[in-house]
Amino acid sequence: MKNKFIIAISALFLFGFGCKSDSDYLNIKPTQVLSTELAFSDPAQVISILADLYNRQYDYPRLTEWVTFGDFNESFYSENGQYNNYHGNSTWSFRGYRGPDVSGKATYFWTPWDYTYIRELNLFMERCATATSLDATTKASYIAEARFLRASYYFTLAQYYGGVPIILNSLEFNGTDVTSLQYPRAKESEMYDFVIKEAEELKLLLPANSNTKARATKGAALAMESRAALYAASIAKYGATTPSVSLSGGEVGIPAGMANAYYTTALKAAEEIISGSAGAYSLYKKQPGNLSENFAAIFYDKTQNNEVIWVDDYALKFKRHGFTQLNQPRFGAEEEEGGRINPSLNLVQSFEKLDNTFAPLATNDGSGNYIYYTNQQDIFADRDARLAGTVMIPGSSFKSRPVDIWAGVQLADGTVISGGERGAQKILPGKTVPEQVVGFDGPISGIDFTAQTGFYIRKYQDPAIGSGQRGIGSAVWRVRYRYAEILLNAAEAAFELGQTSTAAGYMNQVRARAGLIVPLTAGDISFDRIVHERRVEFAFEGQYFFDLKRFRIAHQIFDGVTLSKTDLLSNLSKATKRSTQPYGLLPYKYYAPGSPNNGKWIYKVDLSNKVTASDNWQLGNYYSEIEADILTRNPKLVKQPNQ
């Protein structure tokens, strides 16, 4: 029968082929996983691994998460989901939690603890070193880059946690003894020593090329060294003011005696970049005719930008972000949203006048009457050019379109006519036709995406067409190190070492670029000046957060006490000035037909009714919490102080 024949043939096949060498049969190499050997066989392949490692650096703020930008009352968050998290909540958790994100998930912003990343960096170096098909030069350059990333990541960890275990090779579990994988925390000073030592070695291995921005260079290594040494020095010096923020084992806190050595290192590293030995870095001055636009362009101009040293780079279609889409002026925006970050008056008024003095924005004259301004921008005249480069002030433009920020119409008797929607229309007294009484960008209290403080953010906004669209996005890079910081690092280190005239020299370079051409003298440089200069130069760049921590002034600035209007408008130059609530400055149009002031602008200091809490920085906030889960897995880790 035919069937029998087929069965017999099949059986034969089964015996003949099916059972051929069982062990080989199951041993098939997966086609979708590259073996280590294959992965390290080709330089292009290795670069793609390295690119992933670059992408996993931890940044704060992050362009992909807009709420990381303007905390600490440097701005008001004009989004319905955020009022309660940021303005109705006075505390930060020890891991930087301010409230759930839009989807209700807990978001921790100060928790870089990622030893998987460190392990993969270590593995990368080890595998690269033993790879057979790469030549020695290529290997060395890749390993140097990975070492830079590792040092940079340990620096990040030190900024958040103080001392953490320093693991410099990949660890393997021997199958029995888990304690062989448990390492104690290093001292905080050892963290910075490690970063400085690595940077000193890496500067000789990495290329001195100021045109490379997204990859490690000599400039980036030196910039990291200068910042790390400066942080260590200030923790040593100012940590003495908060003795309870330390651990007896030195995991948190650096002895005050070490400050001077660190300041010297910081100054030396900064001056090495300033001397030009790391490449041709200089302040960005391409648009001398418009200093504000010039300042904003540092962040979006990617061609021949000699100020920028190291960035987290973006490219349209591949790696992009929606920062512009989320923060662009709401009126006429490319998408039906924007305007989330509203810089606060606290920040805006701290920009100096061109004669180097501090003054609140003049809303009223000596006898309490409003001051009338012909143009909206007049109240901001004669101020630091960085103001308009950081913040969109009323009357300014973005993408050649003016922003429309005004809160209402004020009548001669003091009544305010306003509306509850963007660009609302009302009939003014003596008229018959309704006309616009509120700007199309607000501000309207409680309506999100309007400029509720009277300002929008300018820094990091992308002027390219389409940058505000969800489908296109923005490729503006996130600047990690730039030349102005090197100058200010040098200024701070020199000041702390008693070289005040050197300090003034460096600081004046940065200030002159912002239009503050009256130089400061050696005697003008003070702790308050240093802190202030960094606050305005690096607003919304994340430096403020770390400065607050390393100068140990956060608990004085956010002391949980309600910020009164008088407090807000006084002592502008003081580093420890209270800033527990974000204020706004709202423009109103004056309507009094026949009066010479008709149609002019007045300004009012305002606190949104969404701001109900006064921020309170706890001593435990100076160092991020090491989660209980991590502590239980490794009993050798000691807990952070005050937590």
Partner 1 sequence: MKIKFHYILFFALYAIVLSCKKDNYDAPKAALTGRIVYKGEPLNFEYNKVSYELYQSGFGKTGAIGSTFSPEGGFSHLLFDGLYKMVVPIGQGPFVWKQNTAGKPDSVAITLKGNTSMDIEVMPYYMIRTPQLTYSGGSVTGTFKLEQIVKDVNAKTVERVTLYISKTRFADSQTNIATTNLAGTAIADLNNVSLSVTVPALVPAQNYVFASIGVKFSGVDDMIFAPVKKLTF
Min dist CB 133 to partner 1, Å, is 45
Nearest to partner 1 of 292, 608 (CB atom):
608
Helix (H, G, I), strand (E, B) or coil at 104: coil
Segment interacting with partner 1 (CB under 8 A) among 211-219, 229-237, 346-354, 558-566: 558-566
Q: Is the dihedral of CA 183, 184, 189, 190 positive or negative?
A: negative
Min dist CB 209 to partner 1, Å, is 47
Nearest to partner 1 of 11, 561 (CB atom):
561
What span, in angstroms and rounded, lies between the C-alpha atoms of 124 and 150?
11
Q: Which two tokens stand for residue 449?
A: 């995406």
Characterize the bridge pairing of strands 75-77 and 341-343. Answer: antiparallel
Compose the 67-96 pattern: x for residues touching partner 1 by CB under 8 A, - for all others.
----------------------xxx-----
Nearest to partner 1 of 515, 620 (CB atom):
620
Nearest to partner 1 of 276, 635 (CB atom):
635
What span, in angstroms and rounded, lies between the C-alpha atoms of 171 and 98?
35
What span, in angstroms and rounded, lies between the C-alpha atoms of 338 and 326?
4
Segment interacting with partner 1 (CB under 8 A) among 225-233, 455-463, 526-534, 614-622: 614-622
Nearest to partner 1 of 120, 188 (CB atom):
188
Chosen residue from 36, 80, 397, 562 binding partner 1 by CB under 8 A: 562
Min dist CB 579 to partner 1, Å, is 16
Is residue 244 close enough to count as binding partner 1 by CB under 8 A?
yes
What span, in angstroms and rounded, lies between the C-alpha atoms of 82 and 67?
9
Is residue 576 close enough to count as binding partner 1 by CB under 8 A?
no
What span, in angstroms and rounded, lies between the C-alpha atoms of 616 and 563?
12
Min dist CB 178 to partner 1, Å, is 11
How far the first Cα of the chain sits from its last, in Å, is: 85
Nearest to partner 1 of 428, 613 (CB atom):
613
Burial class (CB in 10 A: 0-12, 13-18, 19+), 81: middle
Chosen residue from 104, 175, 243, 430 binding partner 1 by CB under 8 A: 243
Nearest to partner 1 of 260, 643 (CB atom):
643
What span, in angstroms and rounded, lies between the C-alpha atoms of 384 and 387?
6
Helix (H) or strand (E) segment spanning residue 13? helix 2-13
Find the binding residues for partner 1 in span 615-634 (CB under 8 A): 616, 618-620, 628-629, 631-633
Segment interacting with partner 1 (CB under 8 A) among 122-130, 229-237, 446-454, 609-617: 609-617
Find the binding residues for partner 1 in span 309-368 (CB under 8 A): none
DSSP codes of every residue in 415-468? -EE--SSTT-EEPPTT-SS-EE-SBTTB--TT-TTS-TTS-EE-TT---STTTT
Chosen residue from 68, 75, 242, 450 binding partner 1 by CB under 8 A: 242
Q: Is the dihedral of CA 613, 617, 623, 628 positive or negative?
A: negative
Segment interacting with partner 1 (CB under 8 A) among 68-76, 116-124, 238-246, 528-536: 238-246
Number of residues counted as binding partner 1 (CB under 8 A): 27
What span, in angstroms and rounded, lies between the C-alpha atoms of 483 and 270?
9
Cβ atoms within 10 Å of 169's Cβ, excluding its own: 10
Closest CA to 297 of 451, 464, 502: 464
Give the list of residues 6+ apart from residue 256 with CB closer than 8 angstroms, or none.
236, 237, 239, 240
Is residue 526 close enough to count as binding partner 1 by CB under 8 A?
no
Find the binding residues for partner 1 in span 173-212 (CB under 8 A): none
Is residue 560 close enough to count as binding partner 1 by CB under 8 A?
yes
Min dist CB 102 to partner 1, Å, is 24
What span, in angstroms and rounded, lies between the C-alpha atoms of 97 and 93?
5
Is residue 240 close enough to count as binding partner 1 by CB under 8 A?
no
Min dist CB 618 to partner 1, Å, is 4
CA of residue 286 relative to chain centroid, distance:
24
Segment interacting with partner 1 (CB under 8 A) among 48-56, 148-156, 468-476, 559-567: 559-567
Long-range contacts of 152-155 (CB under 8 A, 24+ apart): 152/57, 152/195, 152/224, 153/57, 153/58, 153/112, 153/114, 153/117, 153/118, 153/121, 154/118, 154/191, 154/194, 154/195, 155/191, 155/192, 155/195, 155/224, 155/227, 155/228
**To 10 degrees, the CA torsion angle through 466, 468, 472, 473?**
130
Nearest to partner 1 of 21, 248 (CB atom):
248
Q: Which two tokens stand for residue 401?
A: 């379109």
Nearest to partner 1 of 363, 642 (CB atom):
642
Min dist CB 551 to partner 1, Å, is 16
Min dist CB 234 to partner 1, Å, is 19
Contact indicator for 483, 270 with CB cutoff of 8 Å: no
Is residue 641 close enough to count as binding partner 1 by CB under 8 A?
yes
Nearest to partner 1 of 220, 611 (CB atom):
611
Contact indicator for 557, 578 with CB cutoff of 8 Å: yes
Nearest to partner 1 of 336, 629 (CB atom):
629
Nearest to partner 1 of 197, 633 (CB atom):
633
Chosen residue from 197, 431, 470, 639 binding partner 1 by CB under 8 A: 639
Q: Which two tokens stand for residue 314?
A: 């973006």
Chosen residue from 171, 374, 561, 636 binding partner 1 by CB under 8 A: 561
Chosen residue from 41, 377, 436, 643 binding partner 1 by CB under 8 A: 643
Min dist CB 558 to partner 1, Å, is 11
Orientation of helix 500-513 relative to helix 483-496, angle to 10°: 150
Is residue 100 close enough to count as binding partner 1 by CB under 8 A?
no
Nearest to partner 1 of 90, 573 (CB atom):
90
Nearest to partner 1 of 33, 628 (CB atom):
628
Residue 399 one-letter amino acid? K
Closest CA to 405 of 634, 584, 149: 584
Chosen residue from 247, 539, 605, 607 binding partner 1 by CB under 8 A: 247
Compose the 248-287 pattern: x for residues touching partner 1 by CB under 8 A, - for all others.
x---------------------------------------
Point out which residues bind partner 1 (CB under 8 A): 89-91, 242-244, 247-248, 560-562, 613-614, 616, 618-620, 628-629, 631-633, 635, 639, 641-643
